[in-house]
Chains A and B, each alone.
Chain A
């Protein structure tokens, strides 16, 4: 049984570009799935439709095996949020300032008419799991942002929900706190075993938290796969652009023998790519990650080597970002260990192996979602 099943869900907004277009996916029990995408891709809308906070235009949503919304069956189904047996952590935390910490966390249990002793025990367990039992009598306004974040988390888990929705819960924290909260969240999810659907625009967050990532773009799923797969084999130009920081060029395939292709870039330089599926003559978008470029003083023996001069060095501690320009005018960005000690105006060799290059046929950025095998007809309307 899936924790969440979304089937051909559509939602349009009047006067807005955001629209969910027959999106389908599911989240297995105990699975951690992220909806990743830029702002306006529809990910928050999707989450709010599942929570019952927004009304979709059509499709079907199941939570823990129960249909909570459907226009596909004979009877239209729409359950209010409180009947959906799920929990949610809000971006702005939405902790009620007129209740103290304990009452906030106890709310879900109170609504489920839990006994006093059960409420006490579960609130305690939830607050202890975020190490904040000692602030239970405080007012919400007396807490720091990080503490509020953890209280919001405790409130969401207190009544043992099987499904928890997360709406960019870490986006209001500063970088250090975000990092530690991420780890705490994974630990909590592994311990309690709830299924999580997590909305974020932060790829690092999605990567580190998720069993599976759904990359959303313009209301459609661009790729649904494990983080490693998304990282290593982005399915589309959009995913390649969104995940990891890359140099992007436009080119045309000149030759392709058994997947090893030569692509002529606009700058006039050639680049060799392995596992290329584009045909000769195809216009392609070419991506090379900043980290996949090596910068050396000696000419290396890899497939793609360009001579370039460094025109900008930006020191970032352990690593430095270099901007380079070849004689032909092609610009590259590379991230190298600071220890290499490159300086401005140095002439160097920039290189990458053929498997560090990715290309996608221009304009064909959208690929069918990986989990399109859902039995879509199951609940189809007559």
Chain B
């Protein structure tokens, strides 16, 4: 019958319309154009060249016809075996990694674990170690006859475990990819409003029932996403099958790519074709992942202004605590201990009482062996340089993305994230081809191929997605009104960036630099394809020492590499913004 106007006093303040951002200034445009040009040279050009290379008849340097012949091996029994091996290892790793990572996430976030906060950091240690270093550690633990673990198994009368096998590769990769799945599922679980679970409990569901009916369905997109990401990463993994597989003839696509490209006589066109196949597969998987993510509405999971962090059970959980410690023991404590002990020994043996421990190996890699000395210097310089450059570019891109309505935002987004999907061996190959081919077309004022520049550019191109993720989340945490206030009060765009944005973003930028640093400083397959004598980096030096059989000495170098990673991560955790 009658209506009544409501009292307006209590109305909430309106949200600012989305996508409303300031017009761009000239300096902003110039910086944007330079970054875009760099991104095209570093990412788009090499990917185009490797695609081109896959259809070439001749290696670089010789004028060539184009052919489909490089792809005909796809159905050849040799390559079918490769794909089968890759798939067995990829799927096995995904299943194991997800099982471990998912269990860890649920245990750490939903049960009342003793020392919860500290355990959360310990669980991340394997992620910083890298699968390659993990494989080396597990090799000295479980190599038949000479591994410490094998000796223990033998003493206990248990059946021997051969790490040089599919099982060995899958276990090592599962353990070292578990943190990826853990991080993904953890952040999803942490964002679920506890009231969603509390209400299920109040309405009569048990803790297990709540997990099954509420938590798992909500976490499903994250689980699926983690699954696909681990699969793609595992398919591109070179180091683990390289260390644990090649000895017994278990080869996978990335190891074959490297062999094609580096073994005499090299077959770079075949490598390119194989690389293109792998890259296409990876891109398709990640495209499916995006479809999955876009279908679900994440916004509904966290209630507005609500609490996050999920509902923890109140009673102390002894069982889960032990389970998490078992993982930490096998993934971090035991391997690191084995690496440490072995690095002080003159030769590998399980009879610890009979050897003389010394610092000889460290002396050798730090002072005597020129290649390892150079590698340490080069890796530090290149990884740090790549960190700074990638972060600077990522910051410009994040700024474009969140603070402007530029129509180039979408393509730039793709371009800056695509290299995360491309297996490292393929990116390395792409750089190899590009900088061999470019000088035949345009004379360069200075050489790129065979210098440190190609490694630096490679590291920037490979890791810009990591830097972007860090700068994006930093940019989102700094409200744009801080920058707007600077402009309105009289600062030009450049002055505003220097006086307002940079200081506010500093922790996020530091995190970005370090994430790139610790990834680059341990990178192996791509580096292998572009290093040259005199320009070795840590991982390639470790690999050469491995192929030369300098066992205990290479372990000293692995430990130095690990130490660099851990120092960087410590700095990030102490001074940077949280990594996610």
Q: How far is the CA of A55 from the CA of B20 in the complex (A)?
A: 9
Complex interface: stretch among B34-42, B477-485, B524-532: B477-485
* Contact between chains at B2 and A331 (CB < 8 Å): yes
CB neighbours of B493 from chain A (8 A): 80
Quick one: closest B residue to A79, CB to CB?
B23
Question: Which of B18, B21, B490, B500 sits near A112, CB closer than 8 Å?
Answer: B490
CB neighbours of B300 from chain A (8 A): none
Q: How far is the CA of A97 from the CA of B23 in the complex (A)?
A: 25
A126 to chain B, nearest CB (A): 12
Complex interface: stretch among B7-15, B240-248, B377-385, B462-470: B7-15
Cβ of A107 within 8 Å of any chain B Cβ, yes or no, is yes
Q: How far is the CA of A16 from the CA of B18 in the complex (A)?
A: 9
* Contact between chains at A331 and B488 (CB < 8 Å): no
Contact A48-B479, Cβ < 8 Å, known A39-B15, A201-B11: no
* Contact between chains at B2 and A330 (CB < 8 Å): yes
Contact A39-B495, Cβ < 8 Å, known A203-B8, A248-B3: no
Contact A54-B20, Cβ < 8 Å, known A108-B490, A242-B8, A267-B2: yes
Cβ of B366 within 8 Å of any chain A Cβ, yes or no, is no
* Contact between chains at B4 and A39 (CB < 8 Å): no
Q: How far is the CA of A88 from the CA of B295 in the complex (A)?
A: 41
CB neighbours of B6 from chain A (8 A): 245
* Contact between chains at B2 and A249 (CB < 8 Å): yes
* Contact between chains at B23 and A55 (CB < 8 Å): yes
Cβ of B16 within 8 Å of any chain A Cβ, yes or no, is yes
Question: Which of A96, A112, A246, A247 sits near B482, CB closer than 8 Å?
Answer: A96
Q: Say which size band chain A's interface belongs to.
A: 35 or more
Contact A108-B489, Cβ < 8 Å, known A245-B7, A331-B2: yes
Contact A52-B22, Cβ < 8 Å, known A16-B17, A94-B479, A96-B504: yes
A234 to chain B, nearest CB (A): 12
B479 to chain A, nearest CB (A): 6
Q: How far is the CA of A102 from the CA of B9 in the complex (A)?
A: 35
Q: How far is the CA of A48 from the CA of B18 in the complex (A)?
A: 13
* Contact between chains at A330 and B14 (CB < 8 Å): no
* Contact between chains at A90 and B485 (CB < 8 Å): yes
A165 to chain B, nearest CB (A): 8
Q: How far is the CA of A59 from the CA of B9 in the complex (A)?
A: 33
CB neighbours of B500 from chain A (8 A): 96
Question: Which of A38, A45, A107, A111 sits near B20, CB closer than 8 Å?
Answer: A45
Q: How far is the CA of A91 from the CA of B15 in the complex (A)?
A: 11
Question: Which of A39, A48, A107, A266 sits near B489, CB closer than 8 Å?
Answer: A107
Cβ of B346 within 8 Å of any chain A Cβ, yes or no, is no
Cβ of B491 within 8 Å of any chain A Cβ, yes or no, is yes
Quick one: closest A residue to B6, CB to CB?
A245
Q: How far is the CA of A97 from the CA of B481 in the complex (A)?
A: 12
Cβ of B363 within 8 Å of any chain A Cβ, yes or no, is no
Q: Which of B108-136 contact A (CB under 8 A)?
A: none
Q: How far is the CA of A287 from the CA of B3 in the complex (A)?
A: 10
* Contact between chains at B484 and A247 (CB < 8 Å): no
CB neighbours of B4 from chain A (8 A): 246-248, 331, 333
Q: How far is the CA of A94 from the CA of B492 in the complex (A)?
A: 17
Question: Which of A38, A52, A203, A204 sits near B23, CB closer than 8 Å?
Answer: A52
B436 to chain A, nearest CB (A): 46
Q: Which of B371-402 contact A (CB under 8 A)?
A: none
* Contact between chains at B481 and A13 (CB < 8 Å): no
Chain A 83-94 interface mask (CB, 8 Å, partner B; 1/0): 010111011101
* Contact between chains at A202 and B9 (CB < 8 Å): yes
Cβ of B547 within 8 Å of any chain A Cβ, yes or no, is no
Question: Which of B1, B484, B491, B503 sits near A90, CB closer than 8 Å?
Answer: B484
* Contact between chains at B13 and A51 (CB < 8 Å): no
Cβ of A222 within 8 Å of any chain B Cβ, yes or no, is no
Q: How far is the CA of A314 from the CA of B421 in the complex (A)?
A: 63
Cβ of B265 within 8 Å of any chain A Cβ, yes or no, is no
Question: Which of B5, B22, B490, B504 sits near A241, CB closer than 8 Å?
Answer: B5
Cβ of B487 within 8 Å of any chain A Cβ, yes or no, is yes
Question: Which of A52, A82, A92, A201 sits near B481, CB closer than 8 Å?
Answer: A92
A290 to chain B, nearest CB (A): 9
Q: How far is the CA of A77 from the CA of B105 in the complex (A)?
A: 56
Contact A81-B22, Cβ < 8 Å, known A51-B488, A245-B7, A331-B4: yes
Contact A171-B13, Cβ < 8 Å, known A96-B482, A266-B1, A330-B1: yes
Can you report 8 A-B residue pairs in the complex whose CB atoms are below 8 A from each other? A53-B488, A78-B23, A80-B23, A98-B504, A107-B489, A201-B13, A245-B6, A266-B2
Interface residues in chain B, defined as those with a beta carbon under 8 Å from any beta carbon in chain A: 1-9, 11-23, 25, 479, 481-482, 484-493, 495, 499-500, 503-504
